[in-house]
Chains A and B, each alone.
Chain A
Amino acid sequence: MTGPEGTVGDALSGVHGSLLHPRVFGFIGFGLALWLAVSGRRRYAARVRALSDRVTSLPRRLLPDARVRAGVYLAVLGFAIAYPLALNSYWQEVLVDQIGVYVLLALGLNVVVGFAGLLDLGYIAFYAIGAYSVAYWSGSLPVHPPFHLDPFYAIPLAIVAAMLAGVLLGTPTLRLRGDYLAIVTLGFGEIIQIAATNMQGITGGAPGVVGIPHFKFELFGVHYAWGLSNLPYYYLLLGFVVLVLFAFRSLEHSRVGRAWVAIREDEVAAESAGINVLKYKVMAFAIGASTSGFAGVLEGSKISYIEPADFTVQLSILILVLVIFGGMGSLPGAVVGAAVLQWLPQYLRVHPLLGFQQQDLYLYLGALLIVMMIFRPEGILPSRRREREIGLAEHGIGRADAVGGTSGPIA
């Protein structure tokens, strides 16, 4: 009764076994090194930042020509089409369930956090809404729909449901200061998960829903059915990601995208320039929500099994980390960030020497977030405009996000 593995004779064995573990000193050493690097010597921080700048601006310096860049993008696309054919089924599954879906989720959250500068911590709730909608329309839930639909045709309905949820949540809450928005969305994510767990008559409760059918469609005599294999889902996902990339890219450079930039740089100035701030914020929220909803439909139908425990707040945070790591407001950043950070744990997990445990993932991601915010807040592949905004904000010009509060410098 004296500790995790303690005995009466040795009252402090729990302390010896856990508090005095060599790893603890490793972490403390790491923390101290970080502390020395940032608080004692500002020039170390500057040097680290300059070095990482030089490495990550390589693609921009090497690819100044738009045609060269288009060629590179095509080559990347070709690689994305051909490479999975050479993988074994384990890595194909990782590619769909862990990488592809999260690339899509990161792209959607990038619109909310990166483009509009709003911190959404309940993003996974819309994913849940998409997954439960497809379960509903295919008749897998205890409540039955007016007519059954194949999951493929339920996609638009599920997207609309997620978008509606985004608008309904966003319209009252997006009037709030940005830091309050973060808390409300966090609470919303919790409510959705608790509701899914406890409303057994509607959602099937904690055990979840089984037997959601796979996609299939019959159109103009063409018939295709997705089954258990991963690759067809991968190509569907790839197609959607490319579509979303094009759509978001043109949005970014449209009137809407410029309104988002104005809002995140200075909300009051944007408002007085005649921009309907609330409308554009809700729009960003709804676009993010519908992307998340589609990812939920696809994953729900592919795995054909969903449970409330899939939709934890941790996942919302994970997707936020993907976006920040890649570079807020940068589309290539979101794709690369999500792909790298989702692939790495899988690789480390199967690597025999490193002893990486999946349950410690968030330990490292948390540390990564702090280090990124100190040394490289703009991400590994930053959007040029975002990078400049952050630099200007640090000199007291503009705010670089719509989080709000007083506009002056912090203490």
Chain B
Amino acid sequence: MCFTQNFWNFLVSGLADGFLYALVAIGYTLVYGVLQLINFAHSEVFMSGGFASLFILQAAIGSSQPHGIASVGFVALGVVGGGIGGALVAYLLERVAYRPLRRRNAPRLAFLISAIGASYFLYNLAGKEFGRNALEIPSPFVNGPVFTIFGATVQTYYIVIAIAAMAMLVLVDRVVAMTKLGKGIRAVAQDAETASLMGVNIDRVIAQTFVLGGLLGGAAGFLFGLNAGVVYTMGFTPALKAFTAAVLGGIGNIRGAMLGGLLLGIAENLPVGCVGTQWRDVVAFGILVVVLIFRPRGILGEQLGRAA
């Protein structure tokens, strides 16, 4: 009974969460593809995107309330600004926390620890500089019900997320499949040594991979912050879930990350009617543990990287 009640409402909010998880999950999956490493600091890329878009929109919108075509422009500005903020942090991360260790051929534990250090450094720096309270992004549009589907109200916010996320997901899928950059990423993921013998500049491809993941992660930080506000600790839980989504779909596999994100968003929201919102995170982590134990290669399988 509790499951079917409000089913459509939870499905709609689950899909919205799922799109955000998918965007962040691609950042994990791309980096995992080329380095076979979990980028523990990706949560801070997400947070940086939120703060970057906050500052840009504060300056651009001020205290006015945009309507119509201006709203579309400001959303685009927020997505681009958040994306650039995230990409910048992701690039710095690669230079400071990863590249020196890569040069030295350090053990894998060192990479994980260095990324954890970068994550703690960045989010506490944000807390120190921008304050420890949640800040509200000035709304670029008037939020309200647009239409109902099986009794579930669909808000403007959900439509904005769905359109922006779908556009970015299609774009990144095409970039990896069709461009020279995508070819480089796939070559490094399949066999880094051979790729370098064929003239692929591995350092540059890895940096570009971080930037690409950072663009999506930062934009997701903006879309998340529109509703939940921006705060220095905002990255931790969504990023952990996005990682779950990446594993669920098959890490290293871009379409897997998209599918995993959507599935996880829905799967963690549907039982909320039965167990209450406070257990939502436990459901998500429970899914992670179960997937890792029974199907560690995920639904679509590991693809981009060498099957490890």
Contact = CB atoms under 8 A, between A and B. Distances in A.
Contact of B110 (A21, A24, A365, A373): A373
Interface in B94-123: 95-97, 99-114, 116-122
B120 A405 contact: no
B278 interface: yes
A15 interface: yes
A88 interface: no
Contacts of B95: 35, 39
A370 interface: yes
Interface string A378-402: 0000000000011001111001110
Given A35-B95, A370-B114, A403-B112, A2 B120 contact: no
A3 B202 CA distance: 41
Interface in B21-64: 34-38, 40, 55, 58-59, 62-63
A178 B105 contact: no
Q: Which residue, B117, B125, B127, B138, has most C-beta atoms of chain A within 10 A?
A: B117
From DSSP, what is the main secondary structure of chain B's interface residues? Answer: helix
A119 B96 contact: no
Contacts of B118: 366, 369-370
Given A176-B296, A187-B285, A393-B106, A39 B99 contact: yes
A393 B101 CA distance: 12
B285 A190 contact: yes
Nearest to A169: B289
Contact of A11 (B36, B58, B106, B121): B58
Interface string A1-26: 11110101001101100110101100
B305 to A, nearest CB: 8
Contact of A191 (B36, B120, B247, B285): B285
A277 to B, nearest CB: 16
B144 interface: no
A12 B104 CA distance: 43
Given A2-B62, A405-B37, A317 B120 contact: yes
Contacts of A403: 107-109, 112
Contacts of B128: 23, 359-360, 363
B184 to A, nearest CB: 12
Nearest to A195: B282
B35 A410 contact: yes
A395 B111 CA distance: 16
Contacts of B40: 182
B279 interface: yes
Contacts of A365: 117, 120
A399 B308 CA distance: 15
A117 B119 CA distance: 22
A112 B292 CA distance: 21
Contact of A411 (B125, B131, B206, B289): B206
From DSSP, what is the main secondary structure of chain A's interface residues? Answer: helix
B62 A198 contact: no
A190 B281 contact: yes
B3 interface: no
A183 B109 contact: no
B59 A187 contact: no
A50 interface: no
B58 A410 contact: no
Q: Which residue, B116, B127, B240, B296, has most C-beta atoms of chain A within 10 A?
A: B116
Nearest to B286: A191
A1 B136 CA distance: 9
A363 B112 contact: no
Contacts of A42: 103
Q: Which residue, B121, B135, B188, B296, has most C-beta atoms of chain A within 10 A?
A: B121
A400 B36 CA distance: 17
Interface residues of B, number: 71
A184 B243 CA distance: 11
A370 B117 contact: yes
Contact of B37 (A23, A34, A400, A410): A410
Contact of B308 (A3, A35, A173, A406): A406
A258 B100 CA distance: 31
A184 B118 CA distance: 20
A368 B117 contact: yes
A21 B112 CA distance: 31
A320 interface: yes
B107 A400 contact: yes
Contact of A362 (B59, B106, B124, B278): B124
A113 B55 CA distance: 41
A411 B202 contact: yes
A194 B109 contact: no
Given A373-B106, A373-B117, A411 B188 contact: yes
A221 interface: no
Nearest to B195: A411
Contacts of B279: 194, 198
A119 B110 CA distance: 10
A224 to B, nearest CB: 42
Interface in A283-332: 313, 317, 320-321, 324
Given A23-B128, A369-B114, 12 more contacts: A3-B58, A173-B289, A176-B293, A186-B240, A359-B128, A360-B128, A363-B125, A372-B113, A373-B114, A377-B107, A395-B105, A401-B108
22 contacts: A2-B58, A19-B55, A24-B129, A31-B92, A34-B96, A39-B103, A178-B108, A178-B109, A183-B38, A187-B240, A187-B288, A187-B289, A188-B289, A190-B240, A191-B281, A194-B279, A363-B120, A365-B120, A366-B117, A366-B118, A367-B117, A399-B107
Interface of A: 1-4, 6, 8, 11-12, 14-15, 18-19, 21, 23-24, 27, 31, 34-35, 38-39, 42, 45, 113, 117, 119, 121, 172-173, 175-180, 182-184, 186-188, 190-191, 194-195, 197-198, 313, 317, 320-321, 324, 359-360, 362-363, 365-370, 372-374, 377, 389-390, 393-396, 399-401, 403-406, 408-411
**Which 9 A-B pairs give the minimum distances between C-beta atoms?**
A369-B117, A366-B120, A366-B121, A187-B285, A363-B124, A401-B109, A400-B107, A373-B114, A403-B108
